[in-house]
């Protein structure tokens, strides 16, 4: 990091203060309206805003860590009176991060990053679809979950570009953020207080840490494993390397104990991608990574998915047929009640595609699919596939923007990998590609947009190549 500070501390201008006070006032009113203890909320939001104003990098990283650490406080949802809406700690954190990102853009006017335009196009498609939703209020809620993801990426890209040494600090901060969720997960193991999945006479205690669901926690742990491996290879200190190796192993074990097929198989795929792309590492190192992937896959297949979660063979069960019409007056019999999670998801995807045909261009409107899902599964649920959900709720406009976003990300990461100037950049590029592949695959089977806490970790990491852009002479 060197001796120079990351950012020269300076007393904020009057414009900063006025904007911050205005946004905190709005946030506090929202917190009060939904019944959240607004004194507590205003206290930590005020501290986060003050730190952000004085030191944007520390404030951004601090709010990210706070959102992960304090997520368990938000497990109890607070309902708007008479409205199908809820807001918790994560929702309030989204609101604060949105305001801080706007403050940053207004004051700093950062140069557009490679994903800025695709992100803005995606947000524009989302807000266009909101008026078409059967519940515009729920649609607006879902849209506000997307804004912080773009804001975090834009702010992080500018901060990394301004001072490249921040990239290392950010990675360390992300790994450190996993300590408290791990403590909570261990407590859930000892007290049998995780998420219980029942099937026949079996029950499984699935760990979720401070997250709302084991799948989201599993995806987050996958990122932590890869970031720990990255720091392990970069560290020159023996104790640090031992600690990082142990922590990567602990994170991998906790991931196994979430008993989530998707994140586990995604972890295997990500490790294989890392082993193949880490071209400047020795063949022994790459083979060791692939060996860990094979061992984790074997353990997952043999012991991770038995009893209540069915066996691997249950993935081949017959899929329940769907009706051939989506008329609003028809309420089909709930499908796949006793089927596997794969069969259940496939029914949801087919149903979402059928619904998308009703309004192909703009979709049902954000928040619209849960209003229709009781017709197929008996209760409100999202499609468990971000691409299918975007097609159903945001139409072809939203799907096009979403594909553009992922295509731009793939192009940026591949270019960074190809132009890596040294071993450090090459390994970072390989790890980021592995993380992106894993997260992208998980988007095909889970609600990553609906559970944005993992996205708070993922999208700023995708801005790390901007720390080296000026060195490589690239603009993405």
For residue 292, being part of any structural domain is answered with yes
Q: Is the dihedral of CA 271, 382, 411, 405 positive or negative?
A: negative
How far is C-alpha 398 from the geometric centre of its chain's CA atoms? 19
Instruction: Tell which residue, 201, 218, 19, has the closest CA to residue 103.
Output: 19
| Residue among 459, 413, 466, 393 at smallest CA distance from 148 | 459
pLDDT of residue 37: 55
φ, ψ at 378 (rounded to 5°): 90, -5
What tokens were used for 244?
A: 């990082």
- Give the distance between the most distant pair of CA atoms in the chain: 69
Both 196 and 71 in one domain: the answer is no
Q: Mind listing the pLDDT tens digit of every residue in the chain (476 residues)?
A: 433 333 444 545 666 566 666 666 666 666 565 555 555 566 667 777 777 878 889 889 988 887 887 764 443 333 334 333 445 566 677 778 888 888 888 888 888 999 999 999 999 999 999 888 887 878 888 888 899 999 999 999 999 999 999 999 999 999 999 998 998 899 888 888 877 654 444 467 888 888 878 888 999 999 999 999 999 888 888 898 999 999 999 999 999 998 888 888 889 999 999 999 988 888 888 898 999 999 888 888 777 554 444 443 343 344 444 444 444 434 343 444 445 667 778 888 888 888 888 889 988 888 888 888 777 777 778 888 999 999 999 999 999 999 999 999 999 999 999 998 888 899 999 999 999 999 999 899 888 887 788 899 999 999 999 998 765 444 43
207 and 291 share a domain?
Answer: yes
Q: What angle do CA 368, 374, 377 make, to 5 degrees?
A: 120
Same-domain status, 99 and 188: no
Is 39 contained in some domain?
Answer: yes
CA separation for the pair 394, 373 (Å, rounded): 16
Q: What is the DSSP letter of 303?
A: I
Tell me, yes or no, whether 271 lies in a domain: yes
Residue 460 lies in a domain: no
Are residue 100 and residue 190 in the same domain, yes or no? no
Exposed / middle / buried, residue 422 (Cβ in 10 Å: 0-12, 13-18, 19+): exposed
What pLDDT, on a 0 to 100 scale, did the predictor assign at position 418?
A: 93
DSSP structure class, residue 302: I
Shared-domain flag, residues 203 and 95: no
pLDDT the model gives residue 93: 76
CB 463, CB 436: distance < 8 Å: no
187/290 same-domain check: yes
Give me the pLDDT at residue 29, please. Answer: 66
Instruction: Among 276, 291, 312, identify where a domain stops.
Output: 312
**In this structure, are 77 and 193 located in the same domain?**
no
What is the per-residue pLDDT for 33?
59
Summarised one tens digit per residue, pLDDT across range 147-203 is 999 999 999 999 999 999 999 999 999 999 999 899 889 988 888 887 765 444 446
* Domain membership flag for residue 323: no
Half-sphere exposure of 446 (CA within 13 A, CB side): 27
Count of CB atoms within 10 A of residue 404's CB?
A: 16
Tokens describing residue 105:
């853009």
For residue 463, CA distances in Å to 46, 113, 238, 436, 443 come to: 26, 8, 29, 12, 19
- What are 199's strand-pairing partners? 202
Instruction: Check if the beta carbon of residue 267 is closer than 8 Å to that of residue 222.
Output: yes
Residue with tokens 């930590």: 44
User: Which pLDDT does position 319 carry in this prediction?
Assistant: 41
Residues 188 and 304 occupy one common structural domain? yes
Q: What is the DSSP letter of 197?
A: E
Judge whether 123 lies within some domain: no
Domain boundary among 61, 78, 109: 109
Indicate the pairing of strand 86-87 with strand 202-206.
unpaired
Question: How many structural domains compose the chain?
Answer: 2
Position 274 scores a pLDDT of 92
Domain that holds residue 236: 179-312
In a domain, 147, yes or no: no
Q: Do both 188 and 101 map to the same domain? A: no
- Cβ within 8 Å of residue 391, ≥6 positions away: 352, 353, 356, 363, 398, 399
Of the residues 312, 332, 362, the one at which a domain ends = 312
Structure tokens at 296: 């984790």
Please report whether residue 470 resides in a domain. no
**Are residues 294 and 185 part of one domain?**
yes
Residue among 126, 56, 164 at smallest CA distance from 469: 164
- Reported as a single tens digit per residue, the pLDDT across 405-461 is 999 999 999 999 999 888 889 999 999 999 999 999 989 988 888 778 889 999 999
Q: Is 202 helix (H, G, I), strand (E, B) or coil?
A: strand
């Amino acid at each position: 990091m060197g001796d120079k500070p990351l950012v020269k501390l300076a007393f904020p201008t009057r414009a900063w203060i006025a904007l911050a006070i205005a946004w905190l006032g709005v946030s506090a009113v929202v917190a009060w309206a939904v019944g959240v203890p607004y004194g507590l909320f205003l206290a930590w939001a005020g501290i986060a805003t003050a730190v952000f104003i004085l030191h944007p990098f520390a404030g951004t990283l601090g709010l990210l860590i706070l959102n992960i650490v304090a997520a368990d406080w938000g497990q109890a949802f607070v309902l708007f009176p008479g409205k199908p809406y809820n807001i918790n700690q994560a929702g309030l954190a989204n609101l604060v991060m949105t305001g801080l990102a706007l403050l940053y853009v207004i004051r700093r006017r950062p140069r557009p990053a490679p994903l800025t335009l695709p992100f803005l196009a995606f947000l524009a498609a989302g807000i266009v679809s909101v008026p078409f939703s059967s519940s515009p209020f729920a649609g607006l809620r879902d849209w506000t979950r997307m804004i912080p993801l773009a804001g975090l990426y834009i702010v992080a890209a500018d901060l990394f570009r301004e001072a490249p040494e921040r990239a290392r600090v950010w990675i360390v901060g992300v790994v450190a953020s996993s300590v408290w969720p791990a403590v909570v997960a261990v407590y859930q193991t000892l007290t049998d207080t995780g998420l219980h999945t029942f099937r026949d006479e079996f029950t499984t205690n699935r760990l979720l840490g401070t997250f709302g669901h084991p799948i989201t926690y599993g995806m987050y742990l996958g990122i932590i494993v890869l970031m720990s491996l990255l720091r392990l290879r970069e560290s020159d200190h023996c104790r640090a390397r031992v600690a990082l190796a142990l922590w990567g192993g602990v994170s991998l074990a906790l991931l196994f104990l979430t008993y989530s097929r998707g994140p586990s198989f995604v972890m295997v795929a990500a490790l294989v991608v890392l082993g193949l792309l880490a071209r400047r590492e020795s063949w022994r190192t790459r083979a060791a990574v692939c060996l860990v992937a094979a061992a984790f896959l074997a353990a997952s297949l043999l012991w991770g998915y038995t009893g209540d979660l069915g066996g691997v063979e249950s993935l081949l069960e017959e899929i329940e047929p769907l009706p051939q019409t989506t008329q609003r007056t028809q309420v089909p019999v709930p499908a796949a009640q006793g089927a596997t999670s794969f069969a259940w998801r496939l029914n949801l995807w087919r149903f979402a595609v059928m619904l998308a045909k009703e309004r192909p261009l703009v979709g049902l409107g954000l928040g619209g699919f849960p209003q229709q899902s009781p017709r197929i599964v008996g209760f409100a649920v999202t499609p468990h596939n971000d691409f299918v959900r975007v097609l159903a709720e945001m139409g072809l406009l939203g799907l096009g923007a979403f594909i553009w976003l992922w295509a731009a990300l793939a192009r940026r990461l591949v270019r960074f990998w190809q132009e890596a100037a040294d071993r450090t950049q090459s390994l970072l590029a390989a790890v980021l590609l592995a993380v992106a592949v894993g997260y992208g695959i998980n988007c095909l089977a889970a609600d990553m947009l609906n559970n944005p806490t993992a996205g708070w970790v993922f999208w700023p990491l995708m801005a790390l190549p901007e720390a080296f852009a000026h060195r490589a002479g690239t603009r993405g």
